[in-house]
Amino acid sequence: MYDFAAFAEPATWVSLLTLTLMEIVLGIDNIIFISIIVSRLPAAQQARGRTIGLMLALVFRLGLLLSISWIIGLRAALFTLDLPWQDEPFGVSGRDLILLAGGLFLIYKSTTELHTKLQGEEETETPGAGSATMTNVIFQIIVVDIVFSFDSILTAVGLVDNVLVMIVAVVISMGLMLAFSGAVAGFVNNNPTIKVLALSFLIMIGVMLVMEAGHQEIEKGYLYFAMAFSLLVELFNIRLRKKSPAGPVHLRDSNFD
């Protein structure tokens, strides 16, 4: 399982690069969620909150990698349900329960955050409640870290059979995400439309996790392409708004009539 000699082969390095890139892509969702949750903390605590969140994600992923046999066992059905719309009994595994709970939590939390943002409610902190707020934030981060780490490791197991390669890829990807998390958080929090778009992405991911729990697989490539395309369009909009200091142009102000 821990084959150090494999690093002498070019194929191992290709697998390492591929897996590292995949871990970064899958980890972007985690960074966005952490950034949005941590933004409710006082400014002096936000960097610490992001660091704790990403370090916890690293611990969870390494712990799951060292428990490969347990992860594989989670795919086995714990019990079955007789659903009227299915001919065969529906087997519910530990993986399904984790994805279902994580998906529902992600949908709930992202929806409430989106509602707060759209209603224009102020994200103020209660005086003297800093430690309680940090505890609440860390708890939410732990819940989402478990779900994202679980999904990430399951994908890694399907790509590479060398646990050492997985460990190195996870450490490299988490190191890069930790280095750039501040820039990502600042960009998301300083652009309200990007924050709304990010929350919408998290809702989509939550729905995807719930559907996977129901054994309805969704091609993630389509989902990430849609997210990347939407983000690209919004980046163009931000650039255009910066070039228009006079503000948006309304149809009634134009010379179309």
Lowest mean pLDDT among 37-46, 112-121, 153-162, 198-207: 153-162
Q: Is 90 strand, coil or helix?
A: strand
Question: Residue 136 CB: number of other CB atoms within 10 A?
Answer: 14
Is the pLDDT score of 251 beyond 50? no
- How far is residue 201's CA from residue 214's CA, in Å, rounded to a whole number? 20
Report pLDDT for 123: 46
Quick: pLDDT tens for 105-137: 888 888 888 887 777 654 444 433 444 477 888
Higher pLDDT, 19 or 156: 19
Report pLDDT for 155: 67
* Bridge partners, residue 81, by sequence: 90
N residues, the chain: 257
Residue 8: which H helix or E strand, with range?
Answer: none
Report pLDDT for 124: 44
Q: Is 87 strand, coil or helix?
A: coil
Is the pLDDT score of 248 beyond 60? no
Q: What is the pTM of this model?
A: 0.67
**Residue among 137, 123, 169 nearest 47 (CA):** 137
